[in-house]
Amino acid sequence: MPASTRSLTHTYTRPGTYTILQAGSSTVNAGFTACKQVKVLDTTPPNVEVITCTDGKVKLTIVNDTIAQQYDQIEINWNDRSRNDTLTKGQLLEIQHTYTGTGQRQISIRGLYKSGGCGGGRTNNYPVTLNDVQLDRATISQVESRPDGGIAVTYIGVRGAESEVMVKSGGGAYTGTGFKSSSDANQQIVVPSLAPNQVHSFHIKTSDVCGNSKQSNEAWSTSLDTRAENKRNILNWSKYPVTAGFTEYQVLRNGNIIKQYTSVDSLSFVDTNVQCGETYRYQIITRTAQIVSISAPVEVTAISNENPATITNAFVSVEQNGSVSVLALPPTTGATTTFKLIIERAESGSGAFQQIAELTNSNRYTDATAKTSERSYCYRITYENACGNRSTPTEPICTVWLQHTGTLIRWTGDKPFTNQVGNYYVVKISNSGPAQGIDVGTNTSYNPQLDSPEEQEYNYQIRVHSQNGSFISYSNQVFFRQEASLFLPDAFSPNGDGLNDVFAAKGILFESFQMLIYNRWGEVVYRSTDSSQGWDGTINGEKAPEGNYIYRVEIKDSTSKPFVKSGSFLLLR
């Protein structure tokens, strides 16, 4: 304020305590003074927080700071024809008010003083947009139980309000899960540690800051129990508690729907389309007009006490390296995806079978220890399915053992397959051409003709055809070798009569050839490397004298083995 003034009024611009000194003089008295303190009160409007809630509600909170604390009361004008409200110092500085309708509103607030005659502070206006949020919009659409005990809840919340997933197990009360959201988007949370074999119910509790709350629709989990019996799996599940709007139960096996029930009281299923030892994964999906409830998947392994049938398709065969191949097809009944084959072996005629192999998920075995060139072996095969049930062993099936005895080849007649023997074929194997098979019917011996001029070495083998045409089995091989043969005459008469006019060598199975002819003095009178040519009885164009001559023939057979033959012959005129 100015140092002094003659004005009778003054306005202070800041609150506080001020001293007013008044001084004056007159002609009667020497002068006078007067002093007084005045307190200037604050007129600043209180600080306010305004929150809009659902259903037209507004929550107003006065910030309890130094400004609010200096007022005795806070006056609130809602500007909707309702009476004003006041908050008295020392009380909770919060208040709620409900408007009708939606749209813009304005709240006027000022502080009041009870004493001093000053009235109150300045009024401040707060515009408010009423919230049209509806708390009952929260909705659960799906609950899905998981094997680990968690349940996934899919729901839509409410924007501008807090939605919490609530759970109730058994007959207890609903409790909060701690999963909260203020979004109205489709979302999913997983509530952990819930027993998968128990039914749990859920709803969404949606609240605003004004203390309003609403509960969504309820959703129940589905509990599934399974057990395996002989050649069937039994399923039982929980009944959905609400029948209104119920649509169906769906039975899923390995992710595919195999059965549907439209009655809410249909609570079991028997699956007979199962295979022993196979593991199946089942689920139940409950559908209503609003909810999809999916049970936790439950796995069960099918069982059976039925033994598989005896294998009816199997054979043995000798391979080129002398080992034995054993092949068996699954039995007609009782076969499973996973299985074992038990292989037993005995020397032919002994009957003392011993297990030599146990195969897993394989139907072929190679017996590398068999000495198929020395004897025949018999085999029995047992099938074990995935449930540990075994078939009876097959009848013995035996390799064909081929032997060379004298001029004949003979072989054993035990059948090498589960079917009867149809025909035996004697197969000649050589390097000069394809193998040839001679049908000998059901005979078990054959007399080979070892007179081929083109082949020196070859093998014989027996090929057996089954009566039903499904199987072929081979025996071991026996080796044959022909020695090169050479014939030369002991006399010839080169007289031009067309008979024995040339001394020549005849033979088979040789590739290189040289013939030398010597006279009685050891002189070479003829030399040739062409076996098709012979000596015509001349020496240097002249007739050779009658008498004895010596020959020497050197050959190499088709296997490069050398051979020499020498002797004498008589030349006649």
Task: Give the span between the Cα atoms of 286 and 298, in whole angstroms.
Answer: 16
Residues in the chain: 573
The 10 Å Cβ neighbour count of residue 77 is 16
**Amino acid 305: pLDDT:** 93
At residue 69, the 3 state secondary structure works out as: helix
Q: C-alpha dihedral over 345, 346, 348, 350, to 10 degrees?
A: -160
| Range 346-349 contact pairs with CB under 8 angstroms and sequence separation of 24 or more | 346/377, 346/378, 346/380, 346/396, 347/375, 347/376, 347/377, 347/378, 348/375, 348/376, 348/377, 348/378, 348/398, 348/399, 348/401, 348/412, 348/414
**Amino acid 3: pLDDT:** 65
Whether 387 and 336 have beta carbons less than 8 Å apart is answered as yes
**Amino acid 523: pLDDT:** 92
- Give me the amino acid identity at 433: G
3-class secondary structure for 436-458?
EEEEEECCCEECCCCCCCCCCEE
Under 8 Å CB-to-CB from 214, ≥6 apart: which residues? 135, 136, 138, 205, 206
What are the phi and psi torsion angles at 80 (to 5°)? -135, 30
Give 169-198 as a DSSP string.
Answer: ETTS--EEEEEEE---SEEEEEE-S--TTS
Thinking of the domain 135-220, which architecture would CATH place it in? Answer: Sandwich (2.60)
pLDDT, one tens digit per residue, over 435-494 is 778 999 999 999 987 655 566 677 899 999 999 999 999 999 998 777 667 889 999 999
Superfamily grouping for domain 1-131: Immunoglobulins (2.60.40.10)
At residue 54, the 3 state secondary structure works out as: helix
Chunked mean pLDDT (size 10), the chain, 573 residues: 74 82 72 81 91 85 92 94 92 91 91 79 91 83 95 92 92 92 93 90 91 92 96 97 96 98 98 94 97 97 95 96 97 93 91 94 97 96 96 97 90 96 92 79 88 69 95 93 79 89 83 90 92 90 92 83 90 87
Give 264-320 as a DSSP string.
Answer: TT--EEEE----TT-EEEEEEEEEESS-EEEPPPEEEE-B--PPPPPP--EEEEE-T
- Give me the amino acid identity at 209: V
pTM of the model as a whole: 0.62
CATH of 224-301, one of 2.30.38.10, 3.50.50.60, 2.60.40.10, 2.30.30.30: 2.60.40.10
Residues of the chain with CATH 2.60.40.10: 1-131, 135-220, 224-301, 308-481
The dihedral region occupied by 68, where left means phi > 0, alpha psi between -120 and 50, and beta the remainder, is alpha
Task: Give the span between the Cα atoms of 283 and 222, in whole angstroms.
Answer: 9
What are the phi and psi torsion angles at 161 (to 5°)? -140, 165
**Amino acid 130: pLDDT:** 84
Superfamily grouping for domain 308-481: Immunoglobulins (2.60.40.10)
At residue 135, the 3 state secondary structure works out as: helix
As beta bridge partners, residue 49 has 61
CATH of 485-571, one of 3.40.50, 2.40.160, 2.60.120, 2.60.40: 2.60.40
Residue 571, class by beta-carbon neighbours within 10 Å (0-12 exposed, 13-18 middle, 19+ buried)? buried
